[in-house]
């Protein structure tokens, strides 16, 4: 059986912008300790909340998708940081104990 090819999020971003969609690109720019995805990982999100790729998984990905709507609307990029600490244990975080920094930008 042949493997099913996985779409490259950057190819998806190019296609979606060509279709006239509002699109944001999230990129893992820094990690500390144990992190689920390496630096350079991408998640592309459209204005309707459609997405492809991965920067972490779970609640972190949901938070990045939610922030993408603001970035698409305003055009102002953001740097998001996620991790686990005692004071943030009940907030969005990484269960693996690491931290990641994600750069989120509108692309056209």
Give me the tens of pLDDT residue by residue for the chain, a chain 108 residues long.
Answer: 555 556 789 999 999 999 999 999 999 999 887 778 899 999 999 999 999 999 987 778 889 999 999 999 999 999 999 876 544 444 555 555 678 899 999 998
CA dihedral 80, 105, 75, 58 (to 10 degrees): -50
Does residue 65 sit within a domain? yes
Does residue 90 sit within a domain? yes
Does residue 16 sit within a domain? no
What pLDDT, on a 0 to 100 scale, did the predictor assign at position 84? 60
For 49, the domain range is: 21-107
- Write down the residue that tokens 């459209």 correspond to: 46
Does residue 10 sit within a domain? no
**Rounded CA separation 102/40 (Å):** 10
Does residue 62 sit within a domain? yes
Overall number of domains in the chain: 1
What pLDDT, on a 0 to 100 scale, did the predictor assign at position 88? 45
Does residue 4 sit within a domain? no
At 70, is the secondary structure helix, strand, or coil? Answer: helix
The pTM of this model reads 0.83
Does residue 12 sit within a domain? no
Does residue 11 sit within a domain? no
**Rounded CA separation 79/26 (Å):** 9
What pLDDT, on a 0 to 100 scale, did the predictor assign at position 95? 54
What pLDDT, on a 0 to 100 scale, did the predictor assign at position 90? 44
């Amino acid at each position: 059986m042949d493997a099913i090819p996985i779409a490259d999020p950057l190819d998806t971003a190019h296609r979606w912008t060509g279709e006239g969609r509002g699109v944001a690109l999230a990129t893992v720019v820094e990690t500390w300790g144990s992190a689920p995805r390496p630096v350079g990982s991408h998640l592309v999100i459209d204005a309707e909340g459609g997405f492809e790729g991965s920067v972490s998984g779970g609640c972190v990905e949901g938070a990045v998708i939610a922030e993408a709507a603001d970035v698409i609307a305003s055009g102002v990029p953001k740097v998001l940081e996620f991790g686990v600490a005692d004071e943030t244990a009940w907030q969005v975080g990484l269960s693996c104990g690491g931290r990641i920094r994600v750069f989120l930008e509108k692309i056209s």
